[in-house]
Structure 1
Amino acid sequence: MTVRILPLPETAPPAPDRGLGALSTDKGNLPLDSVDVRASVTGLVAGIEVVQGFRNPFDVPLEATYIFPLPDRAAVTALRMEADDRVIEGELKERGQARQDYDTAITAGQRAAIAEEDRPDVFTMRVGNILPGERVTIRLTLDQPLPHESASSTTFRFPLVVAPRYIPGAPLDDERAGSGVADDTDAVPDASRISPPVLLPGFPNPVRLAVTVDIDPAGLPLTQVRSALHVVAEEGDGERVTVRLQPGERLDRDFILRLDFAPHESAALSLVPDESGGEGTFNLTVLPSGEAKPSPRDVVLVLDRSGSMRGWKMVAARRAAARIVDTLRTEDRFAVLSFDTVIERPRDLGTGLADGTDRNRFRAVEHLAALDARGGTEMLAPLDEACRLLADSPRDRVLVLITDGQVGNEDQLLARLEPQLQGVRVHTVGIDQAVNAGFLNRLATTGRGRFELVESEDRLDEAMEHIHHRITAPLATGLTLHADGLEIVSGTVAPARLGALFPGVPLVIAGRFRGSPSGALSVQGTTPDGTAWEQRATGISTRDRAATSIWARAHLRDLEDRYAVGGPDDLEQRIVATSLRFGVLCRFTAFVAVDSRVATEVGSSHQVVQPVEMPRGWAAPQMGRATFSAAADTFAGPPPP
């Protein structure tokens, strides 16, 4: 067995335990005291258990609310509540019914817990009637696919904090939707559900964090495991590896492991029959090779320079945008739009698309070099303008958004942009250590493109290689899926939009089939010169516990995005039915656990919203004093009598 500590790049020293304005108490009165993430990676799938520990330091019953992140592509399949030697399994129900069951239980003095999804990667946990001095444990079970970024790498990413998000729009006069610090607005009517209070800088670490990841390559030629943002201990006995987070870390940034493999051919079709028979889930991986002949492109770069991009993120964003500009050819046309609350363009390049000449590219890089972070994240106007610039062009059209994604109006943005993205490929570059991956993945999927994560400046060079492949000419477009001897259940293919194929960029397609687990699937498309392209795979019947839940999560995400842009009237009912049938949480369902035993007399309880860490690398002034004040109001005062 080998044991080693994985090194980290040079970083700024951590802030001291206490600082100006820090809050302190004799015994501490924050309800969340531990988070334990236990992941088991097998091949390109992770099974995860998230254990949250809540305690009540008060002299009256407590209701704790915790707004927290989970991986945006993960399927939440179970909830369990443990208290006073009792174990209560959660039930997945329609969201309104689950809330009613929870409220009824709390009113009756019963312990209860409810988990709800507010964004693909933002969830709310409420745990009620925790008795004085009592500890309640919540266990969530997840299945998460690891994105197949190339033929030789994948990433395990687990988010640990919900970063503050810019909330546009006019405040609503209605009752608040949640317990967060932001006002609900006409653009973000549930802003109060995605805006947890933030701990004051210097507040002692209130939560014990543990992360353990067991890695079984399952036949893949694993060569290296790299921790991007944390110091970890790694143990291995040859093929299998266990990675553990060092104690004392705060929940202030994503936990990211990069898994490197020897180059391998992974085109394959797995067929996973249901235990009940009759239907099953397929998973097709296509790994294209070769290079496409360059063709003239229209490229629009949209760069976020808002206040949340301050520090290393702004430096990395400028470098990323400049690198993309440098790859443009004379026959390409391009525009650069930098934005906060206003849109700015490079000097002398006009208001349209400029030719990719040396002079114009120099002007663009000159503009980028002068940018600093400021203002709010008014993202709709620049994306609208980018779509206008790319409209009705016969060329290959590419939109690249470089941002941390910290906005709350994701649904508004998707609803506005989706009709304008016909024929436009959208690639998103997320720069942050607590990035809004849920939104950036949704936008890229809507635009038939890819999302690339840049969590540090050290990651930038590697990420730019991936980005370069994705903004070049595709190998094939107009992709369609065809079955031979396998009956695909109509309307179940995920992603619903197959997009384009790029050199070395895997395409993963999942869906449901009916009948026996045999047959073949082929992906067909057209190359840039008009010739037909096809790749075919023959199915292999396998047993994969997570395949159906992971497909269901991807399918539900597609349906939810259709709902956001104005789908048919019965779409919500279809989403609920799919969620309940396959046991996977979505925005219209919730897991609720209710203890049948009455724990306390009916009466008032103390309500606390758990404050979260300020994301690492963020500067306190950019978040606004109101956010910190709200955090202090939440937990500084004594409980009611």
Structure 2
Amino acid sequence: MLNSQTFYNSRPDGFGVLEVASDPSAPDAPRKFVPLMRTALTGTVTGPLATLTLAQNFALPDQSTDILEALYRFPLPGDAAVTGVRVRFGDVEIRTTLKAREAAETDYKEAKRAGRQAALVTRESPDVFTLAVAGIRAGQDIVVQTDYVQVAKVEGAGWALRVPLTTAPRYVRADEADSRHADGQPLAVLRDPGHRFALDLTVREAERIASPTHALAVEGDRVRLREGEALPDRDCVISWGAKTEDAQPALRTWVHADPATEKAYFLALCAPPKFASAKKIPREVVLLVDHSGSMRGAKWEAADWAVERFLAGMSEHDSFALGLFHDTTKWFAERPRKATPDVVREAVAFLKTNHDSGGTELGVALEQALDRARVADTPSRHVLILTDAEVSDAGRVLRLADLESEKPNRRRVSVLCIDAAPNAALASELAERGGGVSRFLTSSPDEDDVTTALDEVLADWSAPVLTGLTLEVNRVRAEATGRTVALVVPGPASAVDIGDLPAGRPVWVVGRVPLDGDPLSFRLRTGAEVAAEVRADAGRATSGLKALFGADRVRRLEYVMTGGTSGDKLRAELARLSYDAADVGEEKVFAENARDTATKYVRELLVRESLAAGVPSSETAFVAVRTEAGQPVTGTVAVANGLPAGWSEPRFGSAGGAAFFSALMASPSSVASVDSMLMDFDGSDDLDNDDDGNTTTDFDPLERQRGINVPIPPAAPKFLYRKAAPPPPSVKVPAPQVPRPGKAPPLSRDIRVNVKAGQHVPADGVVLYDSATGGEGQLTFLAVTFGDKALTADQLDPELTLLLFVGDLASPRARVKLVDVLRQGGRRPLNVRRAANQPVRLALEDPAGAWTSGVPALEIVLGWKD
């Protein structure tokens, strides 16, 4: 059995990660983990709709004599609709059956006990699935194929598709520990988990196909990874532009008529134009900044910089509140305050002096934010959350957004999600229900500088705002996923609430309406003004819309089940989803009884809805059992997830389950090296005990992970030890820059660039610093000091920008406006990785010609960390 206090690649509850060392005497041999070898995503993307297949290949080395069961907790897009799972055992392919979860688990366990090959796919949370495969043996490949459809996000005039490749540990509240969603955790986390990801997509009617996260090889409409395979340590994001003849209009629709359900399913792209009537209006903004342990490092620094920059851009007509949250929430003031220069300075000081950290109590903080006093006569009210959203209590968090949406003076909720592998499902759903927008930024220094990306996102919040946007459809009883729908009088028509958006920001609306009646027509309004009107386009019909709508219904029922409602409140929540909740029962006095009654009632609805729609839920599962006789399983191993890029490597302790993950989130630490090991499964080192104490091979992977407590078997297993090979430079994550007891602080060799007055003429495009040599490291900050100490930000042209190039001298990794740096005290954070001997260039952009007579005297410091 693994000793979790000795081996960092083990789970505290006893799961091991099996590693095969072809030559144990060679400590530098490449690492090879089994049984998952490779994950590949294939499929076709047409317009915004992606029809995809995720194939997971399992195998054992030919010399292995073990019969293994593998457990892998893997991510899928939270807004995707899984339409089926197929399993191939060698040459035999079996399509799984979707059943109630308890029945599917029973089938799987019985098959495993009988020595038959089997596979089980369960859903823990909307974006995290568990795959159990029994009967993996040498010489036979096992492939599990998961089919799903997904709608791409709008990206300018084109689209973007986000494919999650790993799952980060999520904070679990004590009162959420028994929820299915709390199990949406990795079984193990390693910087190099031993398996790889491959991509092969066909993107039709597209141009300018690119990725901000991975190097691509694009041949016509075929898209693959340039290196063939990649370490699964971050989301894979693919973006592309629509062809010129297919440019986005203000309103575009796709419709699927389904006679079986007597419904028409629709997908509408609403892209409000930049009306001349759009204008800057007084805003009331509540800023919620995540200071939990998982935000440590570049994410924390960039988030704080973003807050400073945002506050500096507010006018004295705007009001704001500022809250910092982790285990608790600390507020700058009890009520929103006007954004005067003095108040802004006080808020920045408050931000910089509060560095305490802990867990991620996002829901508690959001409830306090929505409860803040509202400023009178403010037409635009917003909550802007900066977080990685790594929490498991999504049901209650989303319930807050639903309740807020019913208020006449509601606040819109938007999310800036910062992480290489964020909880994108929660962030997107929260923004949709909150009537706001969600944006995702990587925290990896190997990608774009996170602070530069935040600067670009926050520019949207300085744009003119369109308020009261609605999408009208000529039907009553319309339903729209994640949005409030109201009856239009006179009608017949329904109005779908879209929210307050910066002019020109597109959003999706997915819904369904009764099939009978006149041909479908849609109308986009901003207040009383009609922005666009279209009739349904049958030429763009697609059956995938029905699955997407069904998956959303299932997801929303799951959130209701975990949202903590009962009695009349539960009836109201279900009525919003068009369910008759007459039999839900009376309000209970004791919380335990109320929760059990509500959960039982919603679970029955959830199973029925899931099976009817043919999409999985947390209470249903896909199962496949091979009829041919096999061999008994001799051991169970967990497949590790890749440590998300930008995270410090966790040091596993003795805490278990939810407490372990909470501790990890609160204080992630760095591990310079870890020991790895091999367990030989020879029948004497089985992973479970019967009640009588006898060792058996019937280890139940379906027990709740936090309840597992597997004792050490009587016969000690054999171990082979060796030091793990160091991770490749491309995935190395630097340790936190906090001196440890007894250790020297990290080596720092800052780069100083001194410019004399008039040294560079003309100014625009001038190179201030250029170097093609140097070691590997990370640029951590940029500081600017002018020779003229009396120079202020108000005296600078706002378009003066420093461009930092690293490696690629054609595309800057960071764009730094001098005005912003000066307003924030002359220094801003960077998180830019530099490989050995990559060129580094610092250039000046002066499009207005403010410094055509020459650059003034200044000093620029680039912070450097080995």
- The 8 Å contact of residues 436 and 500 in structure 2, kept in 1 or not, is answered as no
Distance 1:37 1:62 in 2: 25
Query: 1:304 is matched with which residue: 290, 294, 306?
Result: 290
Query: 2:348 is matched with which residue: 350, 355, 365?
Result: 365
1:379 CA drift (Å): 2.3
TM-score, normalising length: structure 1: 0.82
Distance 2:306 2:423 in 1: 18
Distance 2:169 2:177 in 1: 16
Distance 2:425 2:533 in 1: 31
Q: 1:355-398 deviations in whole A, cap 9, x for unaligned?
A: 11122223333444556584322323322221121558553321
Match of 1:550 in 2: 548
Query: 1:214 is matched with which residue: 183, 197, 202?
Result: 202
Query: 2:188 is matched with which residue: 180, 198, 215?
Result: 198
Match of 2:371 in 1: 388
Letter in structure 1 aligned against 2:75 = P
Letter in structure 2 aligned against 1:215 = V
Is residue 507 of structure 2 the alignment partner of residue 507 of structure 1?
Answer: yes
Q: Secondary structure at the match of 2:420?
A: coil
Distance 1:624 1:445 in 2: 38
**Structure (1 or 2) with the larger CA radius of gyration:** 2
The 5-angstrom pairing of residues 275-314 of structure 1 reads 278-289=262-273, 290=275, 292-314=278-300
Letter in structure 2 aligned against 1:365 = V
Gaps of 5+ in 1: 1-19, 170-184
Distance 1:198 1:207 in 2: 13
Distance 1:229 1:429 in 2: 18
Is residue 638 of structure 2 the alignment partner of residue 588 of structure 1?
Answer: no
Match of 1:11 in 2: none
Q: 1:56-80 deviations in whole A, cap 9, x for unaligned?
A: 4653432211101011111111101
The 5-angstrom pairing of residues 556-635 of structure 1 reads 556-565=554-563, 566=565, 567-568=570-571, 569=584, 571-600=602-631, 603=632, 605-621=634-650
The 5-angstrom pairing of residues 207-606 of structure 1 reads 207-217=195-205, 222-236=206-220, 240-261=221-242, 264-274=248-258, 278-289=262-273, 290=275, 292-346=278-332, 350-369=333-352, 374-390=357-373, 395=378, 396-415=380-399, 418-420=402-404, 422=407, 423-456=410-443, 457-458=448-449, 461=452, 464-469=455-460, 474-477=465-468, 479=470, 481-483=472-474, 487=475, 490=477, 492-497=479-484, 498-502=497-501, 503-515=503-515, 519-523=519-523, 527=527, 531=528, 533=530, 535-542=532-539, 543-565=541-563, 566=565, 567-568=570-571, 569=584, 571-600=602-631, 603=632, 605-606=634-635
Query: 2:21 is matched with which residue: 12, 26, 37?
Result: 26
Distance 2:293 2:651 in 1: 6
- The 8 Å contact of residues 518 and 539 in structure 1, kept in 2 or not, is answered as no
Gaps of 5+ in 2: 1-6, 10-16, 23-31, 485-496, 572-583, 585-600, 665-670, 685-866
1:40 CA drift (Å): 1.9
Is residue 123 of structure 2 the alignment partner of residue 117 of structure 1?
Answer: yes
| CA separation of 1:279 and 1:191: change in aligned 2, threshold 3 A | closer
Letter in structure 2 aligned against 1:67 = R
Letter in structure 2 aligned against 1:216 = R
Q: 1:159-215 deviations in whole A, cap 9, x for unaligned?
A: 10001112232xxxxxxxxxxxxxxx64554477322243455x5x51132112221
| CA separation of 1:328 and 1:153: change in aligned 2, threshold 3 A | farther
| CA separation of 1:522 and 1:104: change in aligned 2, threshold 3 A | same
Cα RMSD for the two superposed structures: 3.4
Letter in structure 2 aligned against 1:105 = A
Match of 2:813 in 1: none
Q: Secondary structure at the match of 1:381?
A: helix
Distance 1:598 1:86 in 2: 13
Deviates more, 1:107-116 or 1:242-251: 242-251
Deviates more, 1:467-476 or 1:208-217: 467-476
1:300 CA drift (Å): 0.7
Distance 2:356 2:210 in 1: 30
1:341 CA drift (Å): 2.4
Query: 2:42 is matched with which residue: 28, 38, 41?
Result: 38
Distance 1:72 1:524 in 2: 27
TM-score, normalising length: structure 2: 0.62
1:48 CA drift (Å): 1.1
Q: Secondary structure at the match of 2:230?
A: coil
Deviates more, 1:610-619 or 1:462-471: 462-471
Q: 1:59-115 deviations in whole A, cap 9, x for unaligned?
A: 343221110101111111110110131110012222222222222322332221111
Q: Alignment length, in residue pairs?
A: 585
- The 8 Å contact of residues 91 and 593 in structure 1, kept in 2 or not, is answered as yes
| CA separation of 1:215 and 1:524: change in aligned 2, threshold 3 A | closer
Distance 1:464 1:390 in 2: 29
Letter in structure 2 aligned against 1:611 = A
Q: Secondary structure at the match of 1:336?
A: strand
Q: Secondary structure at the match of 1:450?
A: strand
Deviates more, 1:206-215 or 1:466-475: 466-475
Deviates more, 1:124-133 or 1:624-633: 624-633
- The 8 Å contact of residues 8 and 651 in structure 2, kept in 1 or not, is answered as no
Structure with the larger RCO, 1 or 2 (CA within 8 Å, 6+ apart): 1
1:533 CA drift (Å): 4.8
Distance 1:605 1:471 in 2: 61
1:144 CA drift (Å): 0.9
1:405 CA drift (Å): 1.0
1:277 CA drift (Å): 8.7
